[in-house]
Structure 1
Amino acid sequence: MNINERIRYFRKDVLKMNQRQFAASLGMAQTGVSGTERDGATVTDRFIKSICFAYNLSEVWLRDGIEPMYIQPPTFSLDKFIEERGGTDLEVEIVKTYFELDPEIRKAILSHFKEKFTPSSYGSLYDSVPDTAEELEAQFQLVTDHDKEVG
Structure 2
Amino acid sequence: MNDRIKELRKTLGLTLEKFGERLGVKRNSVSQWENGINNISDQVRKSICREFGVNEEWLLSGSGPMFIPSSTFSLDEFAKTHEASDLDLNIIKAYLSLEPEVREMIAEHFKSFLAAP
User: TM-score, normalized by length of structure 1?
Assistant: 0.43
Task: Work out whether 1:21 is the aligned partner of 2:26.
Answer: no
Tell me what 1:48 maps to: 45
User: CA 1:16–1:73 in 2, change beyond 3 Å: closer, same or farther?
Assistant: closer
How far apart are 1:19 and its partner, in Å?
0.3
Gaps of 5+ in 1: 75-151
> 1:1-151 counterparts in 2 under 5 A?
3-12=1-10, 14-39=11-36, 41-73=38-70
* Root-mean-square deviation (Å): 1.6
- The one-letter amino acid paired with 1:59 is E
How far apart are 1:49 and its partner, in Å?
0.6
User: CA 1:40–1:28 in 2, change beyond 3 Å: closer, same or farther?
Assistant: closer
Which one has the largest radius of gyration? 1
Q: Distance in 2 between matches of 1:62 and 1:4?
A: 9
User: CA 1:18–1:73 in 2, change beyond 3 Å: closer, same or farther?
Assistant: closer
- The one-letter amino acid paired with 1:23 is G
Tell me what 1:138 maps to: none
Gaps of 5+ in 2: 72-117
Q: Distance in 2 between matches of 1:11 and 1:43?
A: 15
Asked if the contact 1:4/1:40 (under 8 Å) is kept, the reply is: no
Tell me what 1:123 maps to: none
Q: Distance in 2 between matches of 1:40 and 1:27?
A: 19
How far apart are 1:40 and its partner, in Å?
5.9
Percent identity of the aligned residues?
34
- The one-letter amino acid paired with 2:9 is R
User: CA 1:22–1:43 in 2, change beyond 3 Å: closer, same or farther?
Assistant: same
User: CA 1:49–1:70 in 2, change beyond 3 Å: closer, same or farther?
Assistant: same
Q: Distance in 1 between matches of 2:69 and 2:18?
A: 26
- The one-letter amino acid paired with 1:34 is S
The number of residue pairs the alignment matches comes to 71
